[in-house]
Amino acid sequence: MNFWLIKSDPETYSIDNLKDDKITVWDGVRNAQARNYLKEMKKGDKLFFYHSGEDKSIIGLAELIQEFFQDPTTDDSRWVAVKVKFLKKFKNPLSLDSIKQIKELENMQLLKQSRLSVMPLTEAEADKIMSLTK
C-alpha cells in the first residue's frame, strides 16, 4: 500500500462533499506530474485529503477504489482520473503552518512543490500525519 496527498479547494470539492457522496471520481487534474502520480496509484492506497485555499490543512482520509481511467471531463486521452472512497474526516486537521514546524515532515513534497495537486507521501510521513490527527 502506498500513501498520497490529494488537494482540493474546499469551495470546489471538500472533504464534506466526499463524506456525503461516499465515492467520487477524482478528475480535472491538468498537470503532467500529478497525472503521472494518478497513474501510479493502486487500489487500496490511502489518500490524505488536503484543503487548499484558506484552510491549508490535511483534513481527512480516503482510499483509492479504482485505478486510473480516461478523465470523463475531457476527450484528451492524456488526462486520467481515479475513483476514491471517503474513509474519515480528522477531528484534528493538520495545518500547513504545523507541517512546516514538524521535523519528520520537512521533506514532504507539499513543502517543495506546493502547487502540485497530487503527490506521494512516504510511509513515515503518513504515520506521522495519522498520529497528529487523532
- For residues 116-124, give the mean pLDDT: 97
Whole-structure pTM value:
0.97
How do 46-51 and 3-8 pair as beta strands?
parallel
Q: How confident is the model at residue 31, as a pLDDT?
A: 97
127 pLDDT higher than 90: yes
φ, ψ (nearest 5 deg) of residue 19? -60, -45
Domain 3-132 has CATH 1.25.40.10: no
CB of 81 within 8 A of CB of 38?
yes
pLDDT of residue 51: 98
- Give the pLDDT confidence score for residue 86 in this predicted structure: 98
pLDDT of residue 134: 87
Tell me the mean pLDDT in the region 97-116: 96
**Residue-averaged pLDDT of the chain:** 97
